[in-house]
Amino acid sequence: MGGRTDGTVARRRVFYIPGYDPIHPRRYRELYRKEGRAQAEISGYELSLHPRTGQPGYGWHVAARIEGAKVETEVEVLVWSDIVRDSMAQGILATYGQLVRTAWTYGATGALWRLMRLRKGPVIAALYPVAMLLAQLAVALLAAWALGAALARAIAPWAAPAGLAVIWPLLAWFKKQDGRLFAYYLMHDYAFSARWRGANPPALEARLRAFADRIGEALTEDWDEVLVVGHSSGAHLAVSVLADLVRAGRVPANGPALGFLSLGQVVPMVSFLPAADRLRADLAYLSERDDLTWVDVTAPGDGCAFALCDPVAVSGVAGPGKRWPLVISAAFTQTLSPARWRELRWRFFRLHFQYLCAFDRPGDYDYFRITAGPRTLAARFAGRRPSRSRIERALSKYTSRAA
């Protein structure tokens, strides 16, 4: 069994759980390679990536010399992109149907108004695909009316309905532009949670069990630290995976140190929904455990995350024994130079991934020091005070938990 008692790390295992993303996990390898090289040059340490050999799953090996120590890290991406792709396999009409159902779910349950009292940024991001898809429909209808009117004048009044023929091609054209507009992508994202009113669909529950098995195996092996990283909606999936592991007694007392790093979390988008009993129970349970260290990192500059919102407290499930998460800010306006901040400020989706990228004015949050450096998550943030501007007010209407 591994696990050092002094908080130092020579061998680490990292499990990365991405958010709602249909792209192959190789994108995360290339992002780590590119941004890790940039951060190493800025911060004066060494970091290189190598292929993993003879191991299941998708990932990479990291060799680093940071803070004067050599560290070997195995990174594995826990993949659910196939589930995401299946959920996105919707036609135009089906997507507009999702729009109606999702808007009704968040509106009728009161979740939308309560979320707005937390942070307006992610709520605006949630409303964006609704507004954009409705605007696309309006443009198509306006084009149909204009063409119909022109045909009526040029031919005869009976020709006006032929203008309707332009609606579908225009909507299809807009859909092809979604790589730049992200309206369909975001609509599918929010609809994924809204369809089940905060519960996990069966396919995702099965995948979470598989994730737990992969992490559980690592906890029985010779590592100094097992670190789970959940980004965006991957954060709340990680909460449930880790809660399951701890409940099942699969975190050995003499095993590797267990760390959980949640980045850019959007937990309230799910935990505020009526059927999120499982997630709320997992949040409450994990927040009181001493089996792990949980650090939650967000930044007010990230308009897609619930920045500095304690996911346990705002969900209304904080108990008297709550000790996690430690909520801190990545402080983009301070850790990015003025020039870099100006370059990224309005690139909202890019900023949502900044937690995984290089900072040209790094503070105590450095993704690569955390995932490839010589200290455990617990040791690195020992004594760190939470952000003074964190939000802890309980705002969820629904606080029921799974039995």
Cα 227 to Cα 16, 50, 122, 319, distances in angstroms: 8, 19, 27, 25
Cα 188 to Cα 81, 117, 148, 267, distances in angstroms: 13, 24, 33, 17
Query: Mean pLDDT lowest for which of 49-63, 121-135, 171-185, 317-331?
Result: 49-63
Residues 188-231: tens digit of each pLDDT: 999 999 999 999 999 999 999 999 999 999 999 999 999 999 99
Which pLDDT band, with edges at 50, 70 and 90, does 154 fall under?
confident
Q: How large is the average pLDDT for residues 359-368?
A: 95
Does 54 have pLDDT greater than 90? no
Q: How large is the average pLDDT for residues 7-25?
A: 95
Q: What is the pLDDT of residue 2?
A: 53
Residues 300-359: tens digit of each pLDDT: 999 999 999 999 999 999 999 999 999 999 999 999 999 999 999 999 999 999 999 999
Does 116 have pLDDT greater than 70? yes
Which pLDDT band, with edges at 50, 70 and 90, does 56 fall under?
confident
Does 3 have pLDDT greater than 70? no
Per DSSP, the three-state class of 87 is: helix
- Region for 339 from its dihedrals, namely left if φ exceeds 0, alpha if ψ lies in -120 to 50, beta otherwise: alpha
Residue 217 belongs to what H/E stretch? helix 202-218
Mean confidence (pLDDT) of the chain: 94
Scan for tokens 């092809």, then name that residue.
176
Does 4 have pLDDT greater than 70? no
- Please, are residues 390 and 327 in contact by the beta-carbon 8 Å criterion? yes
Nearest C-alpha neighbor of 95 from the set 155, 27, 183: 183
Q: How large is the average pLDDT for residues 132-136?
A: 96
Which pLDDT band, with edges at 50, 70 and 90, does 402 fall under?
confident
Does 52 have pLDDT greater than 90? no
SS3 of 136-180: the string is: HHHHHHHHHHHHHHHHHHHCCHHHHHHHHHHHHHHHHHHHHCHHH
Nearest C-alpha neighbor of 295 from the set 217, 374, 385, 208: 385
Query: Mean pLDDT lowest for which of 54-58, 289-293, 305-309?
Result: 54-58
Residues with Cβ within 8 Å of 150's Cβ and at least 6 positions away in sequence, in order, are 163
Global model pTM greater than 0.85: yes
For 11-82+201-380, CATH number out of 3.40.50, 3.10.450, 3.30.70, 3.40.1130 equals: 3.40.50
Domain residue limits, the chain: 11-82+201-380, 90-194
Q: What is the pLDDT of residue 343?
A: 95
Percentage of the residues of the chain whose pLDDT score is greater than 90: 87
